[in-house]
Amino acid sequence: MAGPLTVSTDILSDWLALYHAPGVGTVTLHRLLEHTPNLSDLRQLGSEQLRQLGLKQTSIDALRQPDQAAIEQDLNWHELPGNRIMCCHDPDYPPLLLQLPAPPPLLYIHGNAAILAEPQLAMVGSRNPSGSGQRTATEFARHLSAAGLTITSGLALGIDAASHQGALDAGGTTIAVMGTGLDRVYPARHRDLARQIAEQGALVSEFPVGTPPVAENFPRRNRIISGLSLGTLVVEAALRSGSLISARNAGEQGREVFAIPGSIHNPLARGCHHLIRQGAKLVETAQDVIDELGALASACVRQTDVAPADEAQPQPAELDVEYRQLLDNIEFESTSIDQLVTRSGLTPAEVSSMLLQLEMSGYIASSPGGIYNRLK
């Protein structure tokens, strides 16, 4: 069912009229709210008064004659089961997000709106992570979710999706902050993932129904990901990654920033190393995150339930000498089958057969293109 309607349809219509007016952004809307908390009163102001408040004539015209089609579309969506449009004056508005200098005036929510006020950890990273990075994100999310934190991310490919999935696997809650209207899932291949998140958490956007994927909207949503959360954990990121925007937002918002280090040979570790040099907390286990959050998370997090990621892996069987020698040639970072043939002196057929056994025993993991990573 839809969340409780703590504002009337008439009041929400006033908010939507201004929200859909051209030239009225977040900063302008908050300036108007400071002057006139009751938005219906704006219609009583003269054009000159409205211009003094920063509105251009196109915005004034839209306020006099609102886009009724857009308003009706949003209101119809709002009335559907599981949907809610929440304004920043709503008592249920997420308290951490409300601390931002200019919080989103409206949030479109599909799922459980109540979890937006629960303690959250943002997890972000590369859209094209290494196999190791993707597994790390899933494991961290699984343990942190099992410990009581809601995992918040952006539904993107790579680390975002792995983080959401880890929380779902643990039976915990997860929030996807989207850069589109909630009637559009981007990327389209994540429709099923979005459905699972809505069932076990919530989908959130500041963009009205019908908003398509536009490049400039995705950096904007990053401030919401970090703004909802106690801290932001960057798993893998290149130096120019959008994930560093989320980390910078978190720092500017006074939230914790965490980064997982990687190999000096991995370009996707350079963003994390840069963050660590700038003061981000280096973390190696999920417990490190809980320890750093400290009192901020103590009320909600079950610390005894959190285990380092490597402790969650099944213990593999003992190896004979030949398999041990091959395993010693496989790095924790990516190693190709061609490298293993050269290092081991074995034939490609022998290496392939032994790799299959090592993977089935839990020692290694494979990635597309004949790439292997050591797990133990």
Mean pLDDT lowest among 132-136, 255-259, 268-272, 347-351: 347-351
Say if residues 153 and 243 touch (Cβ distance below 8 Å): no
Q: How much is the pLDDT for 295?
A: 61
Mean pLDDT, the chain, rounded, equals: 87
- The CATH number of 118-310 is 3.40.50.450
As a whole number of angstroms, the distance between CA 20 and CA 135 comes to 41
Tens-place pLDDT, residues 114-131: 999 999 999 999 999 988
- The CATH number of 321-374 is 1.10.10.10
Tens-place pLDDT, residues 37-61: 777 777 778 888 888 888 888 888 8
Backbone angles phi, psi at 87, to 5 degrees: -90, 160
> Which distant-in-sequence residues (6+ apart) come within 8 Å of 47 by Cβ?
57, 60
Say if residues 62 and 13 touch (Cβ distance below 8 Å): no
Q: What is the DSSP letter of 65?
A: S
Tens-place pLDDT, residues 275-290: 999 999 999 999 999 9
Q: Domain extents for the chain?
A: 9-113, 118-310, 321-374
Within this chain, domains 118-310 and 321-374 share the same CATH topology: no
Q: How much is the pLDDT for 7?
A: 67
Nearest of 80, 182, 164 to residue 121 by alpha carbon: 164
Is pLDDT at 81 greater than 80 in this prediction? yes
Helix axes 337-344, 348-360, angle to 10 degrees: 110
